[in-house]
């Protein structure tokens, strides 16, 4: 009986895996075409100074609306691009488009760009980024790259070298999604980050859950000591923003301040922000 169950489970399982593999292959093929055609677009989400509520920069988030597959979310296509070795070309396309768009923003605003773990293994990454900035004329000192804990953990020595290279030319480096990955505080001793982004998981519970509150406070105290700036991710309500200001958190990002939007909509948003500032003055 057990054996028969085992076998039928195995059959179901392998059929599911086959379907999965076919799905992944279809996405990979469509993505390769979309990258060549330049059809993956950067969207931009505002990052604000929490106490003044003014925008200080934008995070670039990839968006892909495929002509055959429709909208495919980054949580699906980014891992496939990484797995199939096409994250490099995808990332270059996005950085080119994003830095072209960001060149039209006021000078004090930064562009924050996500790097994948596998890009921290490739020692060409730094040169590739600089070559793109050179072509688009975007100042390296206005660029930040976001790296996750996983990215740092998988190949620490290689990641460290790339991070040092980037920082040497004035690119700032932030540690993304802090607190949810395989956190190792030890890494913060070995690698200098300019900024830390507190994961949405803590921010969404900050008003209800004492442990989350204490963890956020501890992260803020640690960053202050280490001389790192902080951005809290996933702020959806004003009360969360207010609480974070009370705790002394400098930066914030989330739907409450703005959802990711196209390059064009972002320019409109900046013009409106200028108007609001003029009205206030
Ligand atoms: P991430 O870098 O942590 O980006 C933040 C994610 O949280 C984004 O999801 C954003 O749309 C979402 N978000 C922002 N504010 C809120 C909020 O208030 N509430 C909620 N519920 N969500 C919020 P998105 O755009 O789906 O991206 C998911 C992940 O995909 C990113 O997480 C990043 O790891 C990856 N990703 C996106 N674009 C790129 C890219 O160009 N390159 C690489 N390597 N990864 C990317
Ligand atoms: Mg990010
Ligand atoms: Mg994040
Ligand atoms: Mg995240």
Give the ranges where 37-155 is alpha helix by DSSP (H): 74-83, 87-102, 125-136, 149-154
| ipTM metric | 0.98
In terms of Cβ atoms closer than 10 Å to its own Cβ (0-12, 13-18, 19+), residue 193 is buried
Mean pLDDT of 215-237: 97
Which numbered atom of ligand 1 lies nearest the CA of 197? Answer: 3
pTM attached to this predicted model:
0.94
Angle of CA points 226, 228, 232, to nearest 5°: 125
- What DSSP state is assigned to residue 30? H
What is the whole-number distance in angstroms between the Cα of residue 209 and the centre of ligand 1? 24
The region of weakest confidence among 34-48, 107-121, 146-160 is 146-160
- The pLDDT, as a whole number, for residue 101 is 98
- Indicate left, alpha or beta for 112 from its phi (over 0: left) and psi (-120 to 50: alpha): beta
Residue 1 pLDDT exceeds 60: no
150 pLDDT tier (thresholds 50, 70, 90): confident
- The pLDDT, as a whole number, for residue 27 is 97
- The pLDDT, as a whole number, for residue 190 is 86
- The pLDDT, as a whole number, for residue 183 is 64
4 pLDDT tier (thresholds 50, 70, 90): low
What is the whole-number distance in angstroms between the Cα of residue 203 and the centre of ligand 4? 12
- The pLDDT, as a whole number, for residue 155 is 85
188 pLDDT tier (thresholds 50, 70, 90): confident
Q: Note if 59 is an active site residue.
A: no
Which numbered atom of ligand 1 lies nearest the CA of 255? Answer: 18
- The pLDDT, as a whole number, for residue 212 is 93
Mean pLDDT of 144-163: 91
d(CA 51, CA 232): 13
Q: To the nearest whole number, what is the mean pLDDT of the chain?
A: 93
d(CA 252, CA 128): 29
């Amino acid at each position: 009986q057990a054996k028969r169950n085992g076998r039928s489970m195995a059959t179901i399982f392998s059929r599911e895996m086959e379907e999965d593999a076919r799905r992944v292959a279809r996405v990979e093929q469509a993505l390769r075409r979309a990258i060549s055609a330049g059809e993956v677009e950067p969207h931009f989400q505002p990052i604000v100074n929490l106490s003044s509520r003014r925008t200080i920069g934008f995070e670039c988030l990839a968006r892909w609306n495929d002509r055959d597959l429709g909208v495919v979310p980054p949580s699906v296509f980014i891992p496939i691009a990484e797995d199939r070795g096409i994250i490099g070309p995808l990332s270059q396309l996005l950085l080119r488009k994003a830095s072209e768009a960001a060149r039209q923003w006021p000078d004090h605003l930064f562009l924050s760009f996500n790097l994948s773990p596998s890009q921290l293994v490739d020692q060409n990454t730094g040169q590739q980024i600089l070559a793109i900035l050179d072509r688009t004329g975007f100042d390296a000192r206005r660029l930040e790259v976001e790296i996750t804990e996983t990215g740092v953990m998988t190949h620490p020595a290689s990641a460290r070298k790339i991070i040092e290279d980037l920082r040497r030319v004035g690119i700032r480096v932030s540690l993304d999604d802090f607190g949810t990955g395989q956190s190792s505080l030890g890494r913060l001793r070995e690698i200098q980050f300019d900024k830390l982004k507190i994961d949405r998981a803590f921010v969404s519970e900050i008003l209800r859950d004492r442990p989350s509150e204490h963890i956020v406070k501890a992260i803020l105290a640690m960053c202050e000591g280490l001389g790192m700036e902080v951005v809290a991710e996933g702020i959806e309500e004003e009360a969360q923003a207010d609480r974070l200001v009370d705790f002394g958190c400098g930066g914030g990002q989330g739907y409450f301040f703005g959802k990711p939007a196209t390059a064009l909509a972002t320019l409109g948003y900046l013009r409106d922000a200028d108007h609001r500032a003029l009205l206030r003055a």
